[in-house]
Amino acid sequence: EAQVTQNPRYLITVTGKKLTVTCSQNMNHEYMSWYRQDPGLGLRQIYYSMNVEVTDKGDVPEGYKVSRKEKRNFPLILESPSPNQTSLYFCASSLIGLAGVEQFFGPGTRLTVL
């Protein structure tokens, strides 16, 4: 089954404790992206990647890191989480093309930073 998986689905942590949220897709997509969703703000893009070793900032990259060492994986790293990073996080992937392309979203990771 074609899908985007995220782990963990739920995480409660404390300020300053480094964490990684994994994202994996099995569709051989070049494009992968991370979004955060906060009440009243919709989804905002954190980082995206056009292919292996190619990443770029979205609208809200501060406090996050990403890496794309393999095509299927795109982990989101919070080196020193803070309470304002408490949010619902989504990973997405898609092909890249001149015509419009559909993004496939993962199920989300709900992060709470105390």
Partner 1 sequence: DAKTTQPPSMDCAEGRAANLPCNHSTISGNEYVYWYRQIHSQGPQYIIHGLKNNETNEMASLIITEDRKSSTLILPHATLRDTAVYYCIVRVPGTYKYIFGTGTRLKVLA
**Site residues, partner 1 (CB under 8 A):** 4, 31, 33, 35, 37, 40-45, 48, 50, 56, 58-59, 88, 90, 92, 96, 99-100, 102-108, 110
For partner 1, give the closer residue by CB, 15 or 51. 51
Strands 87-94 and 109-113, how do they pair?
antiparallel
- The least CB distance from residue 81 to partner 1, in Å, is 20
For partner 1, give the closer residue by CB, 4 or 66. 4
Query: How far apart are the C-alpha atoms of 44 and 36, rounded to whole Å?
Result: 5
- The least CB distance from residue 53 to partner 1, in Å, is 16
For partner 1, give the closer residue by CB, 16 or 37. 37
Phi first, then psi, for residue 85 (nearest 5°) are -95, 5
Strands 10-13 and 109-113, how do they pair?
parallel
Query: How far apart are the C-alpha atoms of 22 and 5, rounded to whole Å?
Result: 8
Question: Rounded to 5 degrees, what angle do the CA atoms 61, 30, 38 make?
Answer: 35
For partner 1, give the closer residue by CB, 14 or 41. 41
